[in-house]
Chain A
Amino acid sequence: DIVLTQSPLSLPVTPGEPASISCRSTQSLLHSSGYNYLDWYVQKPGQSPQLLIYLGSYRASGVPDRFSGSGSGTDFTLKISKVEAEDVGIYYCMQALPTQVFTFGQGTKLDIK
């Protein structure tokens, strides 16, 4: 199986400051179609996970533009330009390469300083 490693695992952030989470894969997630099959999800306290980014860099519907995804192949990053209190939660990357088993990273817990 493809293994995803996130860092850091804990991320305390001051409101208004930027935040960045890394996700590294043991195999390239770049498909022959030209798309990177890497998604980002956040699970806020007491809620189910929700989609932030799909195919590496495409924001899901309704996601604020302070969230952005980048990267290709095996190295990906989720960036929050200015963290708000409502962004507290656990952030997961997930790989969804066609014909592979979907796998998630361990999760990064973001909280407010």
Chain B
Amino acid sequence: QVQLQESGPGLVKPSQTLSLTCSVSGDSIRSGTFYWNWIRRSAGKGLEWIGRIYATGTTNYNPSLKTRVTISLDTSKNQFALSLRSVTAADTAVYYCARLYASDNDVTYYYGMDVWGQGTTVAVSS
């Protein structure tokens, strides 16, 4: 059974970098079968997709965050990470990692975001 677990600091100061990690158990992030995603839920905006990474390292980002976001893989630890730079109070949210069961072109096969982490709350405040 695949499980995802987010980890990282719960409080980040404005203008600093928010760094989160998603640990994957029960599957290999190198398997080439899934996209690994970050999504957040804030009080003001509901669910917002941040971006995703494939086993090959190919990334896609939400344009609204693209200049500040990096998603990366750490295959040695079977983890993927989110880095969000220059944070403001608007980045306060619950951050989720999720597995998207889809081919790299989203067309050969697509089965939705079928596994989610429990979420981690991040507050941006001085």
Interface residues of A (CB under 8 A from B): 1, 31, 33, 35, 37, 39, 41, 43, 47-51, 53-55, 58, 60-61, 92, 94, 96, 98-99, 101-107
Give the distance to chain B from A6, nearest Cβ to Cβ, in Å.
10
B89-126 vs A: 1/0 string, CB under 8 Å? 00000001010100001110011111011110000000
Q: Check B47–A104 contact: CB distance below 8 A.
A: yes
Q: Which residues in A have their C-beta under 8 angstroms from that of B113?
A: 39, 41, 49, 51, 94
Report whether over half of chain B's contact residues are helix, strand or loop; otherwise say mixed. strand
- Chain B residues with CB under 8 Å of chain A are 39, 41, 46-49, 60, 62-63, 96, 98, 100, 105-107, 110-114, 116-119
Interface of A is mostly: loop
Q: B49 contacts A104, CB within 8 Å?
A: yes
Q: Which of B41, B47, B60, B96 has the most chain A CB atoms inside 10 A of its CB?
A: B47
